[in-house]
A and B are shown apart, each in its own frame.
Chain A
Amino acid sequence: MNTEELLRRKSFIELGARERARTLLDAGSMRELIGPFERMASPWLAQQGIVTQADDGVVVAKGRIDGAPAVVLAIEGAFQGGSMGEVGGAKIAGALELAAEDNRRGIPTRAVIVFETGGVRLQEANLGLAAIAEIQAAIVDLRRYRPVVGITAGTVGCFGGMSIAAGLCSYLIVTREARLGLNGPAVIEQEAGIDEYDARDRPFIWSLTGGEQRYRSKLADAYVEDDAEAIRDTVCAALRAGLPAHHRSDRHEAFLACLAAVDPAHQARPETVRALYEKGL
């Protein structure tokens, strides 16, 4: 990117969830459902003396992309680490359920999910986990009809049960600043020890779970600059491509064949993972 391009560029990462949704939808088409003025906040955080947010950290935005109906579900990483509680989780699951219902009635609604999340909100533990199971159920339902596109841009990244949800998407778009993994680094270090996973070694964490590594090892479909226009164009291209021949989550034969060649006696290295999946997937 030259200087002129850099100056013209609009960062996606620096946008909040609401502006991210607006950027992805056709100009002027966005309509927010259960917006902050409806004040549907978490009942469980309030009971624990924790400050709530009027939208519970999730924006449900209906509108159009490329002129066709779409819904964008954007998670606000700045509120409680983008964690999924009962209300925010129900907003995503409920919207995806309605999008699938639209398709059964002949309305071709597509969904885009902006993942900026650490996973379950532990203050709502089991209701967060249940909501994530329902989000996953709804993605699998909807993707029978239309592609579900996931974006993880950063800086929070996408972890926990929501990384599994990202793994269900028809297409996953990442940036260099994104990280995608099941378990957060601190939790792995605590459970398995610092020799297994040094949570403070940032280059190490990025080399294994960063957006570029995930893309190069075929666990993501597109790797884009932090540029709102570029991300929007990539989303449009994914939606135009329609359903993939095989969703990544359904390729157990290819993945099991790859993993059969892994020697678990040796610790994993980023270049080994790339080489294995570049060849086998």
Chain B
Amino acid sequence: MDMSKEAGRGAVWLAALTAGGAAAEGYGATVRVVDARLGGERARYIAVVRDAGNPFPRVRNGEVGLLEGWSIARAVREVIAADAAAPVKRPLVAVIDVTSQAYGRREEAYGIHQALAAAVAAYADARLAGHPVIGLIVGKAMSGALLAHGYQANRLIALDDAGVMVHAMGKAAAARVTLRSVEELERLAATIPPMAYDIGSFATLGLLWRLLPVERPGAPGGADLDRVETCLVEALADIRADPARDLAGRLQQPTRRMSKLVRERLRATWRED
């Protein structure tokens, strides 16, 4: 059965990956936090999911809003605190299917930017503290929502599927802001990789650790689930073997030549005073 239409892909992948795990209590309907195994280890999985009846009207389609940002921060910081004295830090897996940040008056008024900053800081602090953080993109990963939920991960994995998308803004809005037609935007996106909306083009930017083919991205099971679980375990091992806790691994592709060059120039001239 394809449950992804109602609950969203984030919810179904979270459920599939954490079968037999324990849902953490005290979180609202939109943030699911489950403690389950990853390989032989205990791990914490976090997903933002749809809630059609959410009291916040702008957070009914899987958006990341005020409570979502602060709750992600709480879920991550609980793990950081619990493992403060542990020699080996528990892994965190962000299961990512987020349509966007929430666009609304309540959100701006109560400081959604600060709520998203809380989630960013929590994931980044976890990574810096030595928790392996893995982002698994199973659906949409848009803009501020991705910044808050996943983009601070040591390693990013995405399903290779037309329903998987990473971008800064939806096509219609992006066309309007840049004073172009949607057709013009699509024409440019075909030749300029950072503007493209498909996950294959995104993969050429070097920001993903793996792009994984799956048969049925909306209904995880069988070989698909095995492949994703194996990949998560490999990512965990790769992070544990890597002494670096930063995001420098994302700078290796030719499409990011300038990102690297700028850093080299800064380093070369940094210490003259």
Contact = CB atoms under 8 A, between A and B. Distances in A.
Contact of B166 (A33, A126, A250): A126
A154 interface: no
Interface string B112-130: 1111111011101101100
Contacts of B192: 44, 47-48, 123
Contact of A167 (B101, B116, B146): B116
B110 A190 contact: no
Given A120-B169, A129-B146, A136-B147, A43 B117 contact: no
What's the dominant secondary structure at chain A's contact region? helix
A249 B168 contact: no
B6 interface: no
Contacts of B110: 259, 262, 268, 273, 276
Contact of A122 (B108, B125, B168): B168
Nearest to B257: A43
A187 B168 contact: no
Interface residues of B, number: 78
B128 A91 contact: no
B106 interface: yes
Contacts of B183: none
Contacts of B70: 252, 255-256, 259
B125 A140 contact: yes
A209 interface: yes
Interface string A132-143: 111011001100
B109 A270 contact: yes
B108 A129 contact: no
A181 interface: yes
Contacts of B101: 182-183
Interface residues of A, number: 89
A7 B111 CA distance: 36
Contacts of A219: 111, 114
B114 A248 contact: yes
Interface stretch (B41-49, B225-233, B258-266): B258-266
B195 A125 contact: yes
A4 B255 CA distance: 55
Interface in B50-100: 55-58, 66-67, 70-71, 73-74, 77
Nearest to B262: A90
A217 interface: yes
B124 A137 contact: yes
16 contacts: A34-B262, A48-B192, A60-B266, A89-B259, A120-B143, A127-B255, A129-B147, A140-B124, A141-B124, A160-B144, A182-B113, A183-B108, A192-B104, A197-B103, A247-B121, A249-B114
Interface of A: 29, 31, 33-34, 38, 40, 42-44, 47-48, 60, 62-63, 69, 86-87, 89-91, 93-95, 97-98, 119-120, 122-134, 136-137, 140-141, 144, 160-161, 163-168, 180-183, 186-188, 190-192, 196-197, 208-209, 214, 217, 219, 247-253, 255-256, 259, 262, 264-265, 267-270, 273, 276
